[in-house]
Every structure is written in structure tokens, then in C-alpha cells.
Amino acid sequence: MKAGIREVRDRFTHYLDQVRRGREVIVTERGREVAALIPLRNQNSVEDAVARLQTEGLVELPDSWRPLAMSKARLRGRLLSELILEERTRSW
């Protein structure tokens, strides 16, 4: 099924229903095909997608997972609140 951009814009719900029913909608601009609305065949979970990528060798998962250790940053100088208070007292 083909439809122009304006037609798809004006009747988007209709075309989305067509896609839900399994039909593909080719979107055209001035007669030229520019996009396709296609049904999602495999609506897998993120875990399924990651497992598939791992099987295909595209990602490698760690043996175990743990949060990264975060060290506290030591800042030099004065606190921002002290500087603001000092600035306020100077302004008065």
C-alpha cells in the first residue's frame, strides 16, 4: 500500500491500523518512496535482544555485575554557600 506524506499525516490512525493488521505502508513524497511503516514482527524484551546480540557475537557480557566503586572527590577552597553569604553581606 502506498500513500503520500500529506495523506499519511492527515489519516495517520488509519494507516497505523493497517500496519497493525500486518500491511506495509510505503510513504511517498512527490511520487518518490521515502519511508516505510512496517509491522514489528518480533517484539522482544531488552533481555532477549541482548541475548541475541551475544549469540551473534556482537556484544560480550561481563561474568558478574557490580556497581562501580565511586570515590568521593576532595575539593579545595571554600564552600559555595560561604561564598554566597560573603557576597550577600558585601552587597548590603
* HSE-up of residue 54 (Cα within 13 Å, Cβ side): 10
For 41-66, write each residue's pLDDT tens digit. Answer: 765 677 777 888 888 899 888 888 77
Task: Output the pLDDT for position 44.
Answer: 66
Task: Output the pLDDT for position 27.
Answer: 97
CATH-assigned architecture of domain 1-58: 3-Layer(aba) Sandwich (3.40)
The list of the chain residues with pLDDT below 70 reads 42-44, 92
pTM for the whole structure: 0.45
- C-alpha pair distances (Å), 7 with each of 2, 10, 29, 33: 10, 5, 10, 14
Task: Output the pLDDT for position 54.
Answer: 87
